[in-house]
Chain A
Amino acid sequence: DTAVSQTPKYLVTQMGNDKSIKCEQNLGHDTMYWYKQDSKKFLKIMFSYNNKELIINETVPNRFSPKSPDKAHLNLHINSLELGDSAVYFCASSQVGTSGRRDEQYFGPGTRLTVT
């Protein structure tokens, strides 16, 4: 059983198009994230949702819009795609422990987005 899944795994599209990436977790976690990994492998947080509420919104162009229909899903919609959006996008999830300690984040397999 896949804990954190993303679709699609590969996405090739042209500049100016709008695309979405879907993420689902079956771990019962209350927090989900989107990270971007650039061509140099650098990983950076984009967004985080806790129980469907946006809690982290880093400096990301407003062409990127996350949507969380329920706490098991966090989708990423990107408008007017640009060449610089080409990257691997990772979804992740975690659960706040009952002691208040945050648990480790589990990552999805990644979506490789190529904008031509």
Chain B
Amino acid sequence: AQKVTQAQTEISVVEKEDVTLDCVYETRDTTYYLFWYKQPPSGELVFLIRRNSFDEQNEISGRYSWNFQKSTSSFNFTITASQVVDSAVYFCALRRTGRRALTFGSGTRLQVQP
């Protein structure tokens, strides 16, 4: 069985603070894929990143960065210098090889106060 845990239900920060959203996953597969999606208040789901299990390089995209650590089964997401527009629910998800559906974590609601 596979599982994704986002232990932080809600985080509130003040604009310009850095914030890290945690994601821990469980899978018996050796090859798998990890994702982050953003769900702003408008409700749509926006794809942010995909990471393959065999690629442990960290990734940076503007103010966003992701830290993938296979040893701790974690795929954490950091927003640097947060902005009000970053306020959303963020979902971490896992897809195993051979199964096309995503297993989502319960989401972390991020509120960035001005």
Contact = CB atoms under 8 A, between A and B. Distances in A.
Identify whether the interface residues of A are mostly helix, strand, loop, or mixed: strand
Interface stretch (A11-19, A36-44, A62-70, A72-80): A36-44
B21 to A, nearest CB: 14
A43 B104 contact: yes
Contacts of A58: 101
Given A41-B89, A43-B91, A56-B99, A105 B47 contact: yes
A114 to B, nearest CB: 14
B104 A55 contact: no
A101 B9 CA distance: 31
Contact of A104 (B43, B47, B91, B104): B47
Interface in A65-100: 88, 90, 92, 94
Interface residues of A, number: 29
Nearest to A40: B106
A78 B54 CA distance: 40
Contacts, number: 56
A20 B60 CA distance: 41
B101 A48 contact: yes
A109 B43 contact: yes
A107 B44 contact: yes
Interface of A: 31, 33, 35, 40-45, 48, 50, 55-56, 58, 88, 90, 92, 94, 101-110, 112
Given A45-B103, A48-B101, A105-B47, 12 more contacts: A41-B39, A44-B104, A45-B101, A48-B100, A56-B100, A92-B45, A102-B95, A104-B50, A107-B45, A107-B47, A109-B43, A110-B43
